[in-house]
Structures are given as C-alpha cells and as structure tokens.
Structure 1
Amino acid sequence: MTISIAHLGPAGTNAESAALAYANWLQENQQKSAILCAYPSIAQTLKAAAQGETHLAIVPVENSIEGSVAMTLDTFWQLDRLQIQQALVLPIAHALISCASELTKIKSVYSHPQALAQCQGWLEKFLPLAQLIPANSTTEALEHLSSDETASAIASERAAELYNLPVLAHPINDRPDNCTRFWVVSLQPSVTGKYISLAFSVPANVPGALVKPLQALAKRGINLSRIESRPAKKSLGDYLFFFDLEADLREVSTQEALDELKGYTQILKIFGSYTLVSGVAESRYEIG
C-alpha cells in the first residue's frame, strides 16, 4: 500500500524533511511506501487530509525557540474530523542563502515567519539593516534570489542544494539545539498512545474558569506538559485553551478527567491519543 502524505511545500522545506523522515519510518517499520504531496500553506496541508485528498498530513506544531505554530493550532480547531496519529521531533538548522557576494550587499531577507524569528539574534548582529520579509514557506523564499542579488533567504542547506543556490552562512539559528515537533494527522480514530492533545473553550471569562479544568487533571496525577491560549476570533478576551497531556486515553483515570472537563467547558475537542516516533532524524528516504 502506498501512503500519500501532505506537507508544506515546495520541495526543500523543513516540513518536507519531516515527511521524508516519516516516510522512511513507514518503510522500515510497516513496509509501506509513501508519496509526498506539497501544498502552499499549513492550512491547505491540513485540509488535504481532512477532505481525503491524502491519507496523512504532517504539520509543524511547536518550535523549541519560537513556541507553537499558530496556524496549525487555529486550523486544527476548525477541522473537527482530524486526529493526531503520531508526533515526531526533528532538529532544525537554518542557512542564509543568497547570490550576493558578501553579507554587506544584502538588503532583504525572505523566509517563513518562524524561521525569521528563530534567527532573530543572528540577523540583528550580522544584517541589522536588512528588511525582513515573511513568506509562506522557507523554500518559497528562494524564488526571490535569482532576480535580485541583494536579496537573501533563510532555508535549509538541503533546499540550497536542491535549487543550486549558494550558502553564505550556516547554521544561523540562535540556538544550536533548535528543534520542531510535528504532528502526523489523518481521519482515522486515534485512541492509543502516551500523549493526548486537546482544546476547549470556557462558558464565560470568570474567576476560576481555568482552575477547575486544571484541578481535574492534577488530582488524578495527570501531567500537563503544555498549555497555551489562542484567541477564539469572536471577541476580545475570548480564548481557546490548548493542552498536551501525558496520559493514556484507555485508562479509567484519564476518562474520568475528560468527563469532568466536559462539565467545565463549553466546547471540548480531543485531537487524539498518540505516540512519539523515535529515530527519525537520521533517516534518508528518497522518493522515486
């Protein structure tokens, strides 16, 4: 069976590297081949899986430097049918790519907003006057280089190799241990794993609205590994809360906690119970 995997494109993005790594894992552990399908945005990547255009989608959800990827969380809340199947963590190393002869010639830097933020310190030190311009993906940023020798882009060394472009500096991310967590999602139910991701809205912005959901977890010894609020996009002060739990959905205590959560929330969405895929960073999977 061949598994189709949606990811943020074009070829050379970190999301594609995650998809390649996961394809390698599928081949080695489940004897399944994969075909990769690039989409121009994270939202369209997720919608491809939600609409059945692909079997899976792989999207970035959290970076160790810049935190959560807002587009992933917001779109996931909107798409009720998707479930997280697995997660994987990949190291991320950024390169400055340009046809300029030296750094002093560079006037602009294109990249995905996450990549620009992950290299903020380096950019302030070496390119303090350069204009920072957001792009839909790190690879899309490379499109500006051939026609403008004063332009540069932040992307991976692999992307530079794919498009035969010179690397002026690598790595330029502010921390050497920079890494990103990705979700592998599909329409299949997901109830087996050591981790649970969920989100909810509360009936009203009143004192104790968040304390009670937290207590429902704490009194059962369930570790909350991440909590984040996102605007509900309705009115100022109206928020959604995203939780990551270290818990097994099949355990009675977990079910009891989730049942109690329902009583404290207006809308509660369980995004899936899943495992963390290990050993993917060293994979070298080639398509075709």
Structure 2
Amino acid sequence: MNVSLAYLGPPGTYSEAAALSYVKQARTRTGMEYLLCPYPSIAQTLQAVAGGEVQIAVVPVENSIEGSVTVTLDTVWQLDKLRIQEALVLPISHALISPMESLSQIKTIYSHPQALAQCQGWLEQFLPQVQLIPTNSTTEAVRQLEEDPEAGAIASCRAAELYEMPIAAYPINDSPDNCTRFWVVSLQPSPGGSHTSLAFTVPANVPGSLVQPLQVFAQRNINMSRIESRPTKRSLGDYLFFIDLEADTRTAIVQSALEELKGYTNILKIFGSYSIVQG
C-alpha cells in the first residue's frame, strides 16, 4: 500500500526535495512505498492532510536567513489536529535560471518571496534594475519563462533540469549556509523526540501576561529554542505565541510544565514532540 504525501508543488520545488529526502529515509525504516502529491500552496498542502485526502505532508516552517514561514504557522494553528512527526533540515542553494544569453538581457525575475529575499544581495549587485515578481513556488517561477523569455527565475538546479531550462548563475543565495527546516505532519500522534512545538494565547494583553508562561519552562531548566508571536487575526495587538522546546512531552518534567502552563493561557495547542534530522 502506498502512503500519500503532499508537498508544495509543482515538481522541482525545495519542498519536493525535502519530501524526497524524507521518503528515502522513511522507506528504510518502514519498508513502505510513498506517492508524492503536489499542491499549489502550503495552506492547501496542510488542508489535504487535515481533510484526509493524503496521509502526510512536508511543509517549510523556518529558513535560516528569512525566518519563519508564517503561512505554515498560521495554518497549523487554525487546523488544530495536525501533529508533527519529524523535522527535516535541508540545505538550500538557489540558481538563476533563464534562456537569455547574458544577465543584461534579463528584465524580470520570478520566484517565491522567500527565495527572492534569500538572494536579495546578489540581485542588488548583479541585476539591480530588474523587476521582481513573487510566485506561489519556485517551480511556478520556472514555468513563467515559457511565456516571458526575457525573464529569469530563482529555483533549484533540479527545476532547471526538469523543465529543460539553462542555468545562468549558481549559487546565488546570499549565505552559503542557507538552510530550511521542514515539518513532516500527519493526523497520527507524534512519536516523541528531542523537540516539542506548541502555541498558546494569553487571557489578556497586560504587563506580565507572557512572562508567567515562559517562567514555567525557565524554572524547570527547559530550554526554548524558538519563540515567535503571530497575530490572532481577531483584533490589532492581539497575539498568539509559538514556542519550540528542547524537550519531550513524554517526560514527567515537561508534563508538569504543560499542566501548569494551562493556568496561564487561554488556548494551548501542543503540536507534538519529534526528532530533527538532516536532509
């Protein structure tokens, strides 16, 4: 039986690369076969799992240069029942793909907003006059070259190969250590591991309302590797908070912390404990 796996498509995206990396490792562990299913947006990718269309999704959650992928955080919060199975860290190297013979002939650059931002310094140095146009995915950017021959796209070398487009420059990301963390999510309970992700709202936006939840972990020497606020979308100044812990919910100390945390929060959602692997 095939396990269906959703990712941000079309084929050739970095999400597909992360999905392929996960599948390679998962086959060894489980002996199962995987069917990759591309979706046109990150939100639709996650909704496919929540709605039972597929069994697993691989979605980007954080980049080492540009920070969190907010649509992933917002959608996971809204969908509520998704659980993280694993985190996968993938090195990201961008290529400029274009049919033009020289950089001076390129008038427009297409790519996903994250990719454009990760190559901002290179673009300012070598293509300062081009128009930058965001797309839903890096592969969608490559597809634009068929209709706009005076353009370029920022995407993976695999995308250039799949769509038979020449690479004009590589690598062009501003940081050689550029990497993205992906979450593997499903409706199954999380397996446990070295990290835990959760999110919560506080009862009121008053002084000290965030300090008390954070002290729950500090008093127990539980390290937080990430904290980020996101608007609740209910009113201006109303936030929810995402936290990553270097701890496992299966341990007694974390269970004690989460029980106390309930008293300081309005809504608390625990997305699971999982391991982080290198792609």
Q: Would you say same fold, with TM above 0.5?
A: yes
1:112 maps to what in 2? 112
CA distance in 2, matches of 1:28, 1:251: 28
Q: Kindly indicate whether the alpha-carbon contact (under 8 Å) linking 1:99 and 1:146 is maintained by their aligned counterparts in 2.
A: no
CA distance in 1, matches of 2:266, 2:76: 17
1:241 maps to what in 2? 241
Deviation of the 1:191 alpha carbon:
5.1
Superposed CA deviations along residues 136-174 of structure 1, whole A, max 9, x for unmatched, are 000001122122221111000000000000100000000
Correspondences of 1:13-92 after superposition (within 5 Å): 13-92=13-92
3-state SS in 1 of match to 2:21: helix
CA distance in 2, matches of 1:51, 1:144: 31
3-state SS in 2 of match to 1:161: helix
Correspondences of 1:45-194 after superposition (within 5 Å): 45-190=45-190, 192-194=192-194
Superposed CA deviations along residues 100-121 of structure 1, whole A, max 9, x for unmatched, are 1111111111100000010011
3-state SS in 1 of match to 2:190: coil
Please, which runs of 5 or more residues in structure 1 have no aligned partner?
282-288
Q: Kindly indicate whether the alpha-carbon contact (under 8 Å) linking 1:50 and 1:81 is maintained by their aligned counterparts in 2.
A: yes
1:217 maps to what in 2? 217
Identity in percent = 67
Give the CA RMSD over aligned residues. Answer: 0.9
1:5 maps to what in 2? 5
Deviation of the 1:237 alpha carbon:
0.6
Q: Which amino acid aligns with 2:159?
A: A
CA distance in 2, matches of 1:190, 1:14: 24
CA distance in 1, matches of 2:31, 2:126: 47
CA distance in 2, matches of 1:66, 1:230: 16
Deviation of the 1:7 alpha carbon:
0.1
Question: Which has the larger displacement, 47-56 or 189-198?
Answer: 189-198
Q: Which amino acid aligns with 2:116?
A: L
CA distance in 2, matches of 1:86, 1:72: 15
Correspondences of 1:244-255 after superposition (within 5 Å): 244-255=244-255
CA distance in 2, matches of 1:25, 1:205: 44
Deviation of the 1:194 alpha carbon:
1.3
CA distance in 2, matches of 1:102, 1:22: 37
TM-score (norm 2): 0.98
Q: Which amino acid aligns with 2:111?
A: S
CA distance in 1, matches of 2:205, 2:241: 12
The alignment of Structure 1 onto Structure 2 pairs a total of residues equal to 279
CA distance in 2, matches of 1:263, 1:189: 24
1:285 maps to what in 2? none
Deviation of the 1:277 alpha carbon:
2.6
Q: Kindly indicate whether the alpha-carbon contact (under 8 Å) linking 1:89 and 1:182 is maintained by their aligned counterparts in 2.
A: yes
CA distance in 1, matches of 2:237, 2:55: 37
3-state SS in 2 of match to 1:124: helix
